[in-house]
Amino acid sequence: MMAFLFTYQPLMCIEQTTLQQPNPTAPGRRHASFLKDFIDPGIPADFGSTVLEWLKSVRSDREERCRSDSHLQRSGNDPVPRNFARSAPEMGYTQDADGFVVPPTPASARSRSYAVDEEALSIAPSDVTSSGRSSSRSLVEDPHYRRLNLAANHIYLRHPCDPIPEHITQLVDFVRQDRDSPGPSPDTVKQDRDLFDLLMGVGEPDVERYFHTRIFPDPKSSDVLKRTDKTPVAKHTVPSVGSGLKVSTPVPDILYGYRGGAFTQQSQLISMGTQPFANTTGLLYPFFVVEFKGDGGSMSVATNQCLGGSMSCVKMAKDLNRRLMQCRSEKVQPIDSASFSIAMNGTEARLYVSWKHDELDFYMVNVKSFLLQEPEQYIEFRKCVRNIIDWGKGKRLKQIRDSLDLLLEESKKRTSEAAKSRLPPSDGSATSRGKKPRSSSSRKDGSGSG
């Protein structure tokens, strides 16, 4: 059988290969088993001439087969690393980029490779990371996230030069108005060494620590407002049209909303299930999102995070308005579903407002940007933050309370009407409507007794 292996001289013109059999540790059957690994007993008699013809055909169309090794191009003869075949005559061969003969990839392995490629070319529907990519980059960091995932769910970042609705303009004007309460003076800001340390380049935790104590108040437990930090919002609050391109589940660095104690209509809230709740902490109907970045962090990513977080706030308010529209009362007044968000690092803050433009589209637009080491801009930024909190604590809270009162009133009315429809008729009406006239025999018996 060894002599049979070396009768095919044409193979030697391609590559001088000598098969060397290792010394067997035991004679007999182990020697035969070793050779069987390399030779298929069913080799045809005309194998040598077939190989010659095949080599000529390969050489003639080599130029046609030359192509990029990009995984974006797929065909049945993709080049793969050369491996030794156990049954060479039963396997087809291809040629690699250097003209070397290589065995084909098994069908099962090729299908797995293509499956990975398909994942790499798609935007993953995951709401945490973009699966199928080589890096651990989160979905909001994907450069196509805004153009694909958000747009597929009708969420858009408007250009600052585009017009915005009148009621949004009025809300922005309120947020930027002067306050009666005193703020820090320009000289105080100039002497704030911790603020200017941020200009030197610090990480995200340091940025958060500074602004938590200087700009963003943490309401007390007795306050109607509630603030949560780094808590994922509930799935039902995230806008979705059912597309495979999903919106990343927001985990706001700061989220402002309301405590349960802010509302006296507890029975109405209970009847609405989880709809009023933004997260597992019990925060209700949020209206303000803040996203931080440190030195080197992407403000574009922070903006993507604001797009998701603020739209969750808008969606929750729109869900409440949808319930209100089902009421038959003439007193129905939809609440303002707008929300605010801020993307910021140690030197810059971008203020955004978001709203539902129609029944389909969500919009967000930048209304003001601030250079935080400029005293006047720092003071104006602080003023806007405090005005947003006052708006949430005042006008917006009243609108939600009035809406819940109306829903509770409507619920009681429907319950009363349903109860009345189930009551049996009163005795008087039953007698007048249901009492049958006395029979003649009854009248006769009655008259005879008298």
- Listed in sequence order, the residues at least 6 apart from 424 whose beta carbon sits closer than 8 Å to its beta carbon are none
CA 184 to chain centre: 39
- Does 34 reside within a domain? yes
pLDDT at 60 over 90: no
Residue 375: band (very low, low, confident or very high) from pLDDT cuts 50, 70, 90? very high
* 18 is a domain residue: yes
Mean pLDDT of 342-359: 96
How far, in Å, are 79, 367, 369 from residue 342 at the CA level? 50, 10, 9
159 with 94, same domain? Answer: no
Q: Evaluate whether residue 353 is within a structural domain.
A: yes
Do 163 and 76 lie in one domain? The reply is no
Q: In this structure, are 330 and 405 located in the same domain?
A: yes
- Shared domain for 66 and 163, answered yes or no, is no
Q: What is the pLDDT of residue 352?
A: 98
Q: Is residue 140 part of a domain?
A: no
Tell me: do 153 and 100 sit in the same domain.
no
* 353 within 8 A of 148, measured Cβ to Cβ: no
More confident residue, 446 or 350: 350
Percent of the chain residues topping a pLDDT of 70: 64
Task: Provide the residue type at 229 as one letter.
Answer: D
* Closest alpha carbon to 211 in 188, 234, 195: 195
User: Is residue 366 predicted with pLDDT exceeding 60?
Assistant: yes
Same domain, 45 and 151: no
At residue 265, the pLDDT reads 87
Q: Are residues 201 and 338 in the same domain?
A: yes
Same domain for 32 and 163, yes or no, is no
Q: Give 402-447 pLDDT, tens digit per residue.
A: 999 999 988 888 877 777 777 776 655 544 454 555 554 444 444 4
What pLDDT, in 10s, does the model give residues 394-405? Answer: 999 999 999 999
Closest Cα to residue 109, out of 135, 87, 134, 80?
Answer: 80
Please give the residue range of the domain that contains residue 249.
Answer: 145-415
Angle at 231 between CA 396 and CA 366, to 5 degrees: 55
165 plus 231 within the same structural domain: yes
Alpha helices per DSSP H over 6-137:
29-36, 47-60, 62-65, 107-121
**pLDDT at 27 exceeding the cut of 60:** no
Asked if residues 350 and 303 have their Cβ atoms less than 8 Å apart, the reply is: yes
pTM: 0.66
pLDDT in tens, 171-182: 999 999 999 888
Residues 322 and 225 in one domain: yes
- Banded pLDDT at 260 (limits 50, 70, 90): very high
